[in-house]
A and B are shown apart, each in its own frame.
Chain A
C-alpha cells in the first residue's frame, strides 16, 4: 500500500475544481505531503451513507497550488485531455484494453466464487452441527419415550454432505468464460490513456484566495488544513492526520493592515473556546523579509476566551 506514484501527479482540473482520481496518489499526498483534500465521491461498497466517502479527492485551489509549487504535481485540463485522448485511440489499443479488463473481470469473478464457496461451506457446516446436536437431543428424548426416532434423524445427516455443492462451484469457477466475467468500471483513465498527459494539456498555477500565505505557513509548520466553513472559519488546522486527531485551531486569514471588527475577534474567540479549539488569525507581515517560500513572512495570533 505504500506505493509511490509516478511524479508529477496529474491533478485534474474539471469545471473549476481540482481532483485526484488515483487511490495511490491520494494516500501518497496524505502520507508524504500532509495534503488531505475532501473525499467527494460515493463508496460503491456502502453507497447509502455520508460518513465515509470515496474518490475522487477534491482539492482546494490552495492545496493544488502548493503541490504544483513543490513540484509534486501538475494541473491537467482533464476535459480536453479525455476528449482528445479517446479520439486518438487506435483500434488495437482498445482491443488490448478491453482484453485486460476482461481478464481482470474473470479474476474477480473467480475470487468471488471462491469466497462464496467458502462462506457456503462454513454456513453448511454450522447448520449441520446445529442439526446434529438437535437430532441427538431429539433422539435422546424420543429414545426415552419411544423407539421410532431413527427414521427422523438419519435424513438430516444425508442432507448435510458439505462436499457436493463445493465440488459443483469449483468446477464452474475453473471454466469461467468471457461471458461470466465481472464488468469493471475503472476509477482512472490510465490505461488506455497515458499516465502523463502531453504538455499541451497542462495548465498554469491555480488561482488562490488571499489566504494562501497563511495556508502555506501553517502547512509548513506541519498542520493539516481542511476547509472550515462548517465550523465557522476558513480552515481547520489539525496537528496530525485528521484520521486520528482532533483539530486545534479555527483559522481565519486577514490582511496585515486590514481594520478588524472587534466583534469578529470576540465571536471567533468564543466560538473557538466553546469547541475546545483556539481561534487563530494571521496574515502576511509586510515588515518581515520576504523569501522565496510562500508563507514564510506570516505572523499568526491565537485568541482564547479566558472567562468561560
Chain B
C-alpha cells in the first residue's frame, strides 16, 4: 500500500487528471517552473506550471547544489520583476492620509452647492464614501475598477486600503504621496506630489488603517488573485474587542436557548395541543408505537422519533457583538456585480488569526457566528448528502497562520429535518434502505 503511494508520488504522471486533487499552493513550488511562463522575454503562456519534482533530502553532490542555485536564481529573478506602468495607460492614485475629503479644486464650487442645498454639509463624510477610504483615483481605467472602489461626486474613485494595496501590488496602480506628506507641504494639501509610493511605504501606510490587518489582507488578495470579487461585509468593524465579546456571546447563547424553548404559558399550551393531537408515545402505556393497526412504516417511524432535534430555521438572528465576524462577502467570478447594490454574496468569510486565537472556536462562538448569517437552505431537489453538507446556514472560516491561509466551511446541518423514512416511502423501494455503504471505509 505504502509502496504504491510512493510510486504514485515519485512518478508524476503527465495527464492533468492526476494533478487535480493536488493543491499547488499547499507547498513552496520550485520557481524554475515560473520560467515556463515567460514575461519580458516571450509571449506569455496561458497555462500554469505543473508541480515541480523535489528531492527527499540534501546530499553533498554538485548536481543538487546546481539545481538548488538555479531554483534560487529563478526565484530571485521572479521576485525582482519591476512594477511598470506604460505612460499611455497609467492609472494614478493619490494617498489621502486623513481619509476622504472633497476635491480641493472644487471647494469654491462646493460653496455654491451648499448654498443651493443648505441641508448638505461639505464635511468629509458627506461625499458618499466610506470613511476608511484613503486613496483617490482621478482616471480609473480598466476591468478591475468594475468591482473596486467608490465614486464621489467629483468623479474620483476612492479606494479602501486593501483595494489600494492590492492594485499597487499587482502593478495596476501608481499611488503618489500627497503634498502634505512630503517635505513641508501644507496640512490639508492632498494634491499629487509626483513622488510614487513604494510597495514598502504602501504596506506601512495601509496596513492597520481602518481595521485592515495582515490576516484580512492575505485573505483578500488570495481570493482576488483567484478571480473572486471580495467586498467588505458589515461585520468588518464589529470585532474590535474580542475579549469582551467572547464573554458576552455565551450569555447571549443561553438567552437564545431559553427563547427557543418557547415563551412561558403560550409555549406550554401549544405543546399541550401538540400532545393531544399526536398523542406522544410513552412506554408507560404500552409499546411506544401504541396499539392498533399500522398500515405503513411512515406512521410508525414518525411515532418513533422521540428525540427532539435542533432546527436551524427557527433560530433568530442575534445582534450580539461577535468574537468572530463575517468580514468579507465573496462572489464567484461569474457573478455580475453592481457596486452600488451588490447582490447576496456567494460566500461569507470570517478571518481568524491563529496566533492570537490558538484554539478552535467554541460551539457557542460558532453558533453566534452562524446566527449572524442569513438563512440559506439548500435547494430541495438536490440529493440528500448535498443538502446535509450545504446546511441551513453556512460561513467560511479563513484561518491565517502567518500568511498561510486555510479555509474551513462551517454549516448548520439539519439532520432532523431530513426524514429518511419518508423519502424511502415515496420511492417505495423496500430492498434498498438507507445507503449504508457511504459510511463504510473503502
A interface, CB within 8 angstroms of B: 1, 12, 14-17, 19, 21, 23, 26-27, 30-31, 36, 38-52, 54-56, 58, 60, 78-79, 81-83, 86-91, 94, 97-98, 101, 105, 108, 111-112, 115, 179-189, 192, 209, 226-230, 239-248, 276, 308
Contacts and interface: CB of A to CB of B under 8 A. Distances in A.
Given A19-B200, A90-B183, 18 more contacts: A45-B39, A45-B78, A47-B170, A78-B203, A79-B204, A79-B208, A87-B182, A88-B183, A182-B84, A185-B171, A230-B26, A230-B401, A230-B404, A230-B406, A241-B68, A244-B67, A246-B54, A246-B55
Contacts of A44: 81-84, 169-171
A188 B195 contact: no
Interface of B: 2, 5-6, 24-31, 33-34, 37, 39-41, 48-49, 54-58, 64, 67-68, 71-73, 75-87, 90, 166, 168-172, 174-175, 177, 181-184, 193-201, 203-205, 207-208, 212-214, 218, 221-222, 225-227, 354-355, 399, 401-404, 406
Contacts of B182: 86-87, 89, 94
A44 B212 CA distance: 22
A47 B226 CA distance: 9
A185 B404 contact: no
B contact face: mostly helix, strand, loop, or mixed: mixed
Contact of B204 (A14, A52, A185, A276): A14
Given A82-B201, A248-B57, A14 B207 contact: yes
A239 to B, nearest CB: 4
B203 A184 contact: no
Contact of A48 (B56, B87, B200, B226): B226
Given A23-B80, A44-B81, A31 B195 contact: no
Contact of A54 (B5, B40, B79): B79
A280 to B, nearest CB: 15
Contact of B196 (A23, A38, A83, A186): A186
A262 to B, nearest CB: 19
29 contacts: A14-B207, A26-B79, A27-B75, A40-B218, A42-B221, A44-B83, A46-B34, A47-B172, A50-B25, A51-B49, A55-B199, A58-B214, A60-B402, A79-B208, A86-B182, A87-B184, A88-B183, A105-B84, A183-B86, A183-B196, A184-B85, A184-B196, A185-B175, A192-B195, A227-B404, A241-B72, A244-B30, A244-B64, A246-B56
A248 B58 CA distance: 12
* Residue of B2, B203, B225 ringed by the most chain A CB atoms within 10 A: B203
Nearest to A232: B406
Contact of A243 (B39, B75, B79): B75
A184 B83 CA distance: 6
A82 B75 contact: no
A50 B223 CA distance: 9
Given A30-B72, A38-B402, A183-B87, A115 B195 contact: no
A46 B81 CA distance: 10
A179 B88 CA distance: 9
A188 B207 contact: no
Contact of B213 (A15, A39, A47, A226): A15
Contact of B29 (A52, A54, A78): A52
A54 B29 CA distance: 12
Contacts, number: 252
B88 to A, nearest CB: 9
A247 B25 CA distance: 15
A24 to B, nearest CB: 8
A239 B214 contact: no
B72 A56 contact: no
B200 A1 contact: no
A185 B198 contact: yes
Contacts of B218: 40
Of the listed residues A39, A47, A89, A242, the one surrounded by the most CB atoms of chain B closer than 10 A to its CB is A47
Q: Nearest 9 CB-CB pairs, A to B?
A: A44-B171, A15-B208, A38-B403, A229-B401, A47-B170, A183-B85, A185-B83, A240-B58, A45-B39
B27 A242 contact: yes
Given A187-B200, A229-B354, A243-B71, A40 B214 contact: yes
Contacts of A98: 194-195
Given A31-B72, A48-B226, A89-B182, A185 B214 contact: no
A245 B58 contact: yes
A149 to B, nearest CB: 34
A91 B73 contact: no
A49 B78 contact: no
B225 A181 contact: no
Nearest to B209: A15
A194 to B, nearest CB: 13
Most chain A CB atoms below 10 A, which of B40, B49, B194, B404: B404
A199 B402 CA distance: 27
A15 B24 contact: no
A239 B198 contact: no
A16 B214 contact: yes
Given A82-B201, A89-B183, A183-B90, A14 B208 contact: yes
